[in-house]
Structure 1
Amino acid sequence: MAAEETLCSARAELQRTATFMSLESVYRSIDCAISVLADLRQQLNNFAPVHRLPPELFSIIFTLATHIPRRHQDVFRLQDDRRSRDYVQPRSNRIAIIGQVCRRWRAITLDTPGLWTYINVAPGCNQFKAYLKRSRSLPVSLSLNAGVPEVKDALSQLAPRLSRLDLTITLLPSEEITPSIFCINAPLIRCATLIDTHVFLPMPRLDHDPGPDVKWIELFGQRESTLEALALALPTTWLPSNTFTHLTHLLFSCHSVISMGPSVLLTLLANTPRLEFLHIINLWYYNKISTLGAQPVTLNHLRSLVVDGSRWQSLCHFVARLSIPVRAHVTIVNTQAESLRGVHVPPLDHKSPVTNLEIYVIGRKLQVFARSEVLDFVLHWWPDDGYDVPEPELHKFFTPFTVTSFKLKLTDTKATARGTDKLLTELASFSAITDVEVYLDNQSPSLSHGPSYGKVLHAIAVGNICPALSHFILTIEGSFPVDHLISSAVEMARERASRGSPLSRVVVRSLSGSPYRRGLDITPEYVDLLRAKFAPYVNTLEVHHFPEPPMRVVDQRWVVGGAEKHWSLYEGAKPQFLGPYEWESAKPGLTTYVHGTNRIAPRSA
């Protein structure tokens, strides 16, 4: 009440003396009134439930809301068009927005130095200086574009406190980024991304003489580096000579040196004993560089290897000299096989021959999963120009006659139809396949009537592909006319039986893709119809129906847990999955018909 009476008295006094006030006195009175209103609004805010929280809890909440890994997730966020990649600036710090909510929140943010440790503003500006002051003595992360003139001075100033550096070249010629910039003494640094956005472009054919030899430098003034993650994609003539005893993530572009040879890359990898994630962009060596003397390298902790764009000979020589653990994931993107001259063992067969093969085609994109006893491979292609499915020449990647299991999914577009003949020619050399699964869904309205699956089944029928086939699975997702496809499968079974190579087992599976795609109407009458069609030509017929699983999760076999700890992977490192969803979660309630007998599998606990 006393405050209200004081304000009323002040207002009455102002009204009484207003006519005698000078202009300067009016301005001072306005400033005073604004301050009083701000104090009253602050008091009003105190009645809000959120302001019952103590400042320490607010600091924790603000820190989580602006967590550093979230700030760096767009380091490699480049446009999808591989021919014109424009750099997208990482999202700015949101703490400034939080500080504008109210006076109390601003005071808390200013008193929480950990909120100001991520700096992505131009060095030398007032905001840069404010961040340095408010972060006090804590380690800082710095995100810079090399187009600003004060880069070297900023790095020298922050070196003792630098924990992360994201340096992107978009404006200056890369030649101006000299090694001396990175010879600063930064004992606390844990992550560095040094990239030129142009190195993400496809590598041109370079057959001329190589340039100067590589110059080896010590990054950040340490012989034994403290780095845990390093992205080095600068077209320079130098490479780090450090021993990276803590490094687990490495992204490396072979644009990084002018005279790239196999021994250069392997020498770098030999200094990374604990490497878990290796991503190589544009793996190539000059034609005139000898591969002799390149010592093999063993990476005992490697979990994922991605090669995005490579020359065939370079890939073969690199894989032949790299030893990685069993079940490590290997992804190879947009690599065209060339001559096998000088290549004694296909690159995917160095550890163990490939035995399982999955091929998925959607439009002009082609994806191959190849599995051996010890390694898993993902091969992915998408053409930059033209309209046809790529011709990868799979027999140059692994030995065809060791493959025994094959899975195929086609989306029947015009581009897919044109590529089917090429695919069948490729599969003709896979003579040891005994198990085949053909997967069909209704992504295209004309899919069940398209020519691609008919061509595949006809080739199997006449023995042009898979002459040793004994088990055949037809998987159908969604509800749509499949009579033509079923008839083609029956004709395939009949033709093989007439040629003396009958199928021992045929499985027809129906998958309910969603409440709106219920799958085939699997009834005893429909099973009897299928049995009548297949029974004369096969030993065993099975019909399965899978209800909709609790959750459909997109298969991301190439994304290994922990791969995105320091940055979100660029799109080349995790190509879109073209195959079907996983359905193992649909086993409870599975209905199975075997030659007309109906049994319900017991539900799992």
Structure 2
Amino acid sequence: MSFPKMKRSERRPLSLTRSFFNFVKLDFSFDSKRRSSSKTETKPKMRLPSEFMSKPMSKSPPPRSRKSSEISRPYPIHHSSRKAQISRRISALPPELLAHIFVLGSEDDSMFPVTVSHVCSSWRWLTLSTPSLWRRVCLDDRTDMWKERIRRAKACSLDIQLSSRIYRDVESGRLVRHQVLDFYNVHWYMHVANPWIHRWRTLEIVFHDYAPWLWNAALAECCSKYPYLSAPALEELVLFHPHNDDTKEFLLFGGRAPRLRRVALNGIRLLWLPSLFGNITVLDYTHHGFTVGSTAVIEILSMLGVSNRLSELRITFPSRMRPVPVSSTNLYPVSLPYLSRLILRVQTADIPVELLLVSTHLTVPSLRSLHLLDDTRALSSFPGLHAFLRTFRKPERLASLRVEGGWYDFRLMRKWVGRLSGLARFVVKDGLGRERVLVGGVRPRTASGPAYRREG
């Protein structure tokens, strides 16, 4: 392809800019210095146009000697000062703020304190001077390391964890087992933390697999008859073992845990005392299954009568419970004046009779949120849904309602929801996982219920 040629009158005169001149001068001086060792060669002189000789030029810094390995790298034309080259570093943060960042990181990764303590000497000094950074103890076969971490925590309260945790590997996507626990290694691991029961802030014990006498091995020292045994700093308790077959009733910490506020239980039977559970505000309770029928209902209602300061309650009955005829006699209502959130969870093909009786004997004047969850993802409504909606006391202040799977029937739920004048959010999730978010008005338009529109 031929390009049009410019006329002589249109051609621009050749001119050198100042930056181009500085670059040529720098490169020329560097080349002359490299050839100065040879005596036979003479230094070439560069002639400049007269228009550049009359203008004052800024002096460029002398070139630095470069190694042979740096020849391929671009040589900087302008040398900035050292202060401009140094960017802001994390070490410039105040030690208190940096220590708080480390503590937040240790909540997600138990080995995070060890990692940051090996970065530099200043970070190591900071980590060793922050006792709360070492408070999390995840018991396993590295007993010496956990003993050292307890020593570094000094007088700080401790978060004790013992779990046969199962997690999903990021690379392979498969479920990986953290460790397999039995009676002997559980007893050995808990021997590391048992001398510091008075410093426990949280206790989390999770067993995913079956093994005999696991609760005996884990809670032997917590159920000791020592008269001064207590957990004055304990705030959260999580005990999870759905395959447990030990029907023993455990008395924890000598019956004293005044600061306990959050409890999650599954597969264990505890002696429910007011000195232990009278001040809790959050309870996630899955029935152990050793009692059924009216006995189980009376047991749970008596527990809720002791823990009458609850603000959040979650109740689940396992699928292994056998159905038995239940009588509603000798059942008395329990008042939970501070309860604002109630979650009823079903794992069977129908609503358990025990769950129906427990929920219908609760008086919840401050209830704002009600969740009806279905783990089976049933495509049709539960046979006992009509009985539940007929006997369950409608909360006057209910603002949020979530219904899943077999808990939903259009005709029954529409009539029941229509009488809730303060309902502001209504979420429906079917068995296929599809959700519909319905928003109701403050006042119903018709007698059948408020007018709903789809949120979106």
- Fold in common (TM above 0.5): yes
Q: 1:196 aligns with which of 241, 245, 251?
A: 241
Asked if the contact 1:192/1:229 (under 8 Å) is kept, the reply is yes
Unaligned 5+ runs, structure 2: 1-85, 165-180, 376-380, 435-445
* Structure 2 match to 1:22: none
- What SS does the corresponding residue of 2:324 show, helix, strand or coil? coil
| Inter-CA distance 198–93: structure 2 relative to 1 (3 Å threshold) | farther
Q: Does 1:294 align with 2:294?
A: no
Q: 96, 104, 108: which one pairs with 2:126?
A: 108
Of the candidates 309, 333, 345, which is equivalent to residue 346 of structure 2? Answer: 309
Aligned: 1:381 with 2:404: yes
Change (3 A) 1:159 1:263: same
User: Does the Cα contact within 8 Å between 1:145 and 1:168 map onto a contact in 2?
Assistant: yes
- The Cα of 1:245 is off from its aligned counterpart by 3.2
For residues 195-216 of structure 1, the C-alpha deviation after alignment (integer angstroms, 9 at most, x for no partner) is 13669xxxxxxxxxxx99x765
2:303 to 239, 256, 268: 268
Q: Rate the CA distance shift 1:161–1:124 in 2: closer, same or farther, 3 A.
A: farther
Work out which of the two has the higher radius of gyration on C-alpha atoms and give 1 or 2.
Answer: 2
Cα pair 2:204 2:238 within 8 Å, conserved = yes
2:126 aligned partner, one-letter code: I
Q: 1:281 aligns with which of 316, 320, 334?
A: 316
Cα root mean square deviation, aligned: 4.2
Aligned residues: 319
Q: Is the 8 A contact 1:347 1:398 kept in 2?
A: no
Q: Distance in 2 between matches of 1:164 and 1:351?
A: 36
Conserved in 1, the CA contact under 8 Å of 2:340 and 2:366? Answer: no
User: 1:133-166, CA deviations, whole angstroms, 9 ceiling, x for partnerless residues?
Assistant: 1111221111112624324423422212111111
- The alpha carbon displacement at 1:394 in A equals 5.4
Unaligned runs of 5+ in 1: 1-45, 72-89, 200-210, 353-372, 383-389, 418-430, 440-579, 582-605
Residue number in structure 1 paired with 2:390: 346
The answer to whether the 8 A contact 1:141-1:163 is kept is yes
Give me the whole-angstrom Cα distance separating, in 2, the residues matched to 1:437 and 1:172.
48
SS in 1 for 2:302: helix
Q: Distance in 2 between matches of 1:52 and 1:401?
A: 58
Partner SS state of residue 97, structure 1 = helix
User: 1:189 & 1:111 partners in 2: Cα distance?
Assistant: 24
Q: Is the 8 A contact 2:281 2:312 kept in 1?
A: yes
SS in 1 for 2:220: helix
Q: Give SS of 1:133's match.
A: helix
Q: Distance in 2 between matches of 1:136 and 1:174?
A: 35
The answer to whether the Cα contact below 8 Å between 1:236 and 1:256 also exists between their aligned partners in 2 is: no
Which residue number in structure 2 is paired with residue 133 of structure 1?
A: 151
- The aligned residue for residue 320 of structure 1 is 360
The residue identity in structure 2 corresponding to 1:381 is: E
* Aligned-partner Cα distance in 1 for 2:194–2:419: 57
C-alpha separation between the residues in 2 aligned to 1:226 and 1:134? 24
Q: Is 1:182–1:220's contact at 8 Å kept on the other side of the alignment?
A: yes
Distance (Å, rounded) in 1 between the aligned partners of 2:242 and 2:191: 23
Structure 1 counterpart of 2:287? 254
Give the secondary-structure state (helix, strand or coil) at the position aligned to 1:318. Answer: helix
Maintained 8 Å contact 1:295/1:321? yes
CA offset digits 1:480-537 (Å, max 9, x no partner): xxxxxxxxxxxxxxxxxxxxxxxxxxxxxxxxxxxxxxxxxxxxxxxxxxxxxxxxxx
- Which residue number corresponds to residue 218 of structure 1? 251
Correspondence for 1:241 among 273, 278, 293? 273
Contact 2:274 2:307 (C-alpha < 8 Å) held by counterparts: no
1:157 aligns with 2:195: yes
Q: What does residue 367 of structure 1 align with? A: none
Question: In the TM superposition, what whole-angstrom CA distance separates every residue of 1:236-278 from its partner, at most 9, and x where no partner exists?
Answer: 3444334423211111111364446111111111111221111
Aligned to 2:117: 99
SS of 1:66's partner is helix
Cα distance in structure 2, aligned partners of 1:245 and 1:380 = 31
CA contact (8 A) 2:402 2:427 kept: no
> Partner of 1:252: helix, strand, or coil?
strand
Distance 1:340 1:323, change over 3 A: same
The answer (yes or no) to whether the contact 1:119–1:128 under 8 Å persists in 2 is yes
8 A Cα contact 2:135 2:153, kept in partner: yes
Q: Hey, what's the Cα distance between the residues in 1 that align with 2:426 and 2:238?
A: 39
Q: Shift in Å at residue 404 of structure 1? A: 9.1
Say if 1:262 and 1:435 are closer, same or farther in 2 by CA, change over 3 A.
closer
Say which SS state the counterpart of residue 67 (structure 1) adopts.
Answer: helix
- SS at 1:240 equivalent: coil
Residue 436 (structure 1) shift: 3.7
Secondary structure of the 1:305 match is strand
In structure 2, what is the equivalent of residue 333 of structure 1? 373
Whether the 8 Å contact between 2:261 and 2:279 is mirrored in structure 1 is yes
Do residues 166 (structure 1) and 204 (structure 2) align?
A: yes
Measured in 1, the distance between the counterparts of 2:235 and 2:433 equals 46
Secondary structure of 2:198's counterpart equals: helix
Q: Which residue of 1 aligns with 2:443?
A: none
CA distance in structure 2 between the partners assigned to 1:152 and 1:265 by the alignment:
30
Partner secondary structure for residue 149 of structure 2 = helix
CA offsets per residue over residues 21-62 of structure 1, 9 Å max, x none? xxxxxxxxxxxxxxxxxxxxxxxxx99855455xxx424422
Q: CA deviation at 1:438?
A: 4.8
In structure 1, distance between residues paired with 2:420 and 2:144 = 66
In 1, the alpha carbon distance for the partners of 2:311 and 2:325 equals 32
1:333 offset after TM fit, Å?
0.6
Is 1:58–1:108's contact at 8 Å kept on the other side of the alignment? yes
The alpha-carbon deviation at position 303 of structure 1 amounts to 1.4
Question: Shift in Å at residue 279 of structure 1?
Answer: 1.5
8 Å Cα contact 1:228-1:246 kept in structure 2: yes
Secondary structure of the corresponding residue to residue 62 of structure 1 = helix
Residue 451 of structure 2 corresponds to residue 433 of structure 1: no
Q: Secondary structure at the match of 1:101?
A: coil
Relative contact order, higher structure (CA 8 A, sep 6+) = 1
Kindly state the Cα deviation for residue 393 of structure 1 after the two structures are TM-superposed.
3.6
